[in-house]
Amino acid sequence: MKTRILVSLIAGFLCWNASAQTADDWVSRGRSYLAARDITDANASFAKALALNPNHENANALYAVTRLLVLPSQPAGSNFLTRIGFPIAGRNIYAWSSTLPKDTNGLWLAPNGVNANEFTAQLRTNVLPAVSGAIDNLAAITDTNFIISLTSSETATAGVTVDYGDLKLIQAGLYASEYFIYALNAQNLDAQLTAIRALYTNGALSVGQVLSDYPQLFTFATTNDLQAASVAFINAVNCYMTASKFIRARPPSEVRLFNYDEAMAKSEAGFRLTLQDLKNSLEFEPQFLALDPDLMVDMTAQFSGDTSWRNLLPKFDSNAIELGSLPDETFGGVIYGLTREDVESHLSERFVMLPVGYAPLLSTDGTVLAFATLRGHYYALEASTNLVDWQVVTNFTAASAVTALTDSQANIFRTRFYRLREVLPIVSNLKKTVNGYFGPISTNFMIGQEFTLPLDGGHYVLNKVTLRLNPVNGDGNISVSIWSVGSDNNPSSQIAFVASQVISSQGNQDFIPSTSIMLSAGVSYYVVATPMTLADSGLVSWAWTGSTSWDGNGVLGGFADTQPGHWENFPISGGPQLISVEATHVFP
């Protein structure tokens, strides 16, 4: 009997002791778990603290963050990661090593049976509730004097002090995530990943092919979330404004999670002005942009459900866009003041823009041809009588969105076909600062510069290679050729001779091929400079630059030389050669 009484007393004491845990105790315990990198128990502890005191600010702040960090380990998140191919081993947010399987070329494999719309479903069903919950947690923190210091053990990186402004900026980001998820969920993303991967494997993957295979892609799947997306956008802007004002008002000596950069003051102020204009267009009426009064925005059109993303897409031919095919330069009524030429010029920075011909007109002077073109872009008009053999009629730089040309020789041919092709700067860094001259180029010191053509359908015809050269030891005849790239990333073998010429003065030197040189899209090559004869060896050097940036749609790679007696390559960070490669894109 006494034993039973003693056991009951002990049990009662333990129950009383557990219930005596305060919210502060649970927060302290959760932070200990954080320091031990136990995110699951940390999250559970903060939840218990909020169960005791829903207004506990530290608990709300820490629970908001950890409820997002535990998503990969919770059943819904874990199962989805498994479904798309992430191995279970290595799923540790502190040291994530789980990666998607790849093929022998290092490219990710598409998971069997997975549809792209499963990603939006995962975001909408499982991620969004956690994001919205975290927003509610941060909204519960109203004290502008709030501050919490986290140790390096708790953050697993560096110690940091977080204040009210930091939390409002995080909250703004979470509202922006809400907006993104709602907007994305409205779109039809019904596409099998294995089918898209098969297009890549067969060399047929392109924007145009995907849009053709999936005619419903990017049409509306639902419009039910658009109003919620509008509200989330407004909330994101409001929170950002509050955060920005708070952070900008901090004393310069205070270092927090997010800090104000004076060097970015002008751009950040412009960003705020634009956000305010976009928000006002939702809440009041269309707004002229403060930073560009020629443009007017109306964000209500984005959430009306009248225009899907698909309705806004221009016509694609493979990965190129046909000029003049943009359906609506107002993007469904969101922005007014842009011309089609404005939009197409901007798109040309990311896409190949195909000139489109109009019906020719016959005149006494010849055949009058008109093409949709891009102002300032360089084109080659070619003609053929059999669609096999082509010759250049003229080259020109377009001065307007429509270019008219007259072929005065057309009347001497019974039949003549025409095509207009843009001559593209694949890569060019000739405007960069010369840091020195490499060489001199000799039979024992050949120099190569790597470049990669854009990954588009079809192939490219080489028009011109330009090198910045200097006859440091006298006039010399330099030969330029195109080489393949070997498995060791060095020049492997010559595949085409471009041209040669005597270099008698310092500057840019053009090498123009006399015969057609076809290069494959998406493939890397070397431009190699060598002396034409033994007498030309050791006379001319090739300029290099410390800049690793370039113009053009291709990729500038590293460089190589044969100074050690064999080809040896170096990364672009070592200082690439000054070069320009121009080529015309030819579609299949």
Report the C-alpha gap between 578 and 470 in whole angstroms.
Answer: 12
**Model pLDDT, residue 376:** 85
**Model pLDDT, residue 441:** 97
Tell me, what amino acid is at 568? E
Backbone angles phi, psi at 332, to 5 degrees: 75, 20
Short-list 503, 510, 583, 572, CA closest to 544: 572
How far is C-alpha 421 from the chain's CA centre? Answer: 27
**Model pLDDT, residue 2:** 46
The stretches in the chain having pLDDT less than 50 are 1-2, 6-7, 9-18
Radius of gyration, CA atoms only, the chain: 31
Short-list 180, 213, 183, CA closest to 196: 213
Which H or E element spans position 388?
none
Are the beta carbons of 351 and 319 closer than 8 angstroms?
yes
**SS3 per-residue string spanning 34-98:** HHCCCHHHHHHHHHHHHHHCCCCHHHHHHHHHHHHHCHHHCHHHHHHHHHCCCCCCCCCCCCCCC
How far is C-alpha 323 from the chain's CA centre? Answer: 23
Are the beta carbons of 548 and 535 closer than 8 angstroms?
no
For every residue of 196-233, DSSP letters joined together read HHHHHHTT---HHHHHHH-TTTTSBS-STTHHHHHHHH
CA atoms within 13 A on the CB side of 237: 18
Short-list 357, 586, 316, CA closest to 457: 586
Short-list 3, 7, 29, 34, CA closest to 18: 29
**Model pLDDT, residue 369:** 93
Beta strands in 238-397 (DSSP E): 287-288, 296-297, 316-317, 320-322, 335-336, 353-354, 356-357, 361-363, 366-372, 378-384, 391-397
149-163 pLDDT per residue, tens: 999 999 999 999 999
**SS3 per-residue string spanning 503-552:** ECCCEEEEECCCCCCEEECCCEEEEEEEECCHHHCCCCEEEECCCCCCEC
Cα–Cα distances in angstroms (integers) from residue 145 to residues 142, 163, 252, in the given order: 9, 7, 17
Report the C-alpha gap between 78 and 101 in whole angstroms.
Answer: 17
Cα–Cα distances in angstroms (integers) from residue 421 to residues 178, 192, 466, in the given order: 44, 35, 20
Identify any residues that bridge with 480 across adjacent strands, giving them in sequence order: 499, 529
Return the DSSP state at 192: B
Are the beta carbons of 555 and 452 closer than 8 angstroms?
yes
| Strand bridging mode 353-354 / 320-322 | parallel
Q: Which CATH fold would you assign to the domain 425-586?
A: Jelly Rolls (2.60.120)
- Both tokens assigned to 207: 């924007």
How far is C-alpha 507 from the chain's CA centre? Answer: 35
- Both tokens assigned to 48: 């218990």
| Strand bridging mode 524-531 / 476-485 | antiparallel
In the three-class reduction of DSSP (H, G, I as helix; E, B as strand; rest coil), residue 472 is classed as coil
**Model pLDDT, residue 391:** 85
- Both tokens assigned to 409: 């020789």
Short-list 444, 445, 453, 434, CA closest to 545: 434
Short-list 346, 337, 407, 338, CA closest to 374: 346
**Model pLDDT, residue 274:** 97
Are the beta carbons of 508 and 541 closer than 8 angstroms?
no
The alpha carbon torsion through 535, 536, 539, 541 (nearest 10 deg) reads: -160
Q: Is the peptide bond before 440 cis (omega within 30 degrees of 0)?
A: yes
Q: Is the peptide bond before 513 cis (omega within 30 degrees of 0)?
A: no
**Model pLDDT, residue 457:** 65
Are the beta carbons of 483 and 526 closer than 8 angstroms?
yes
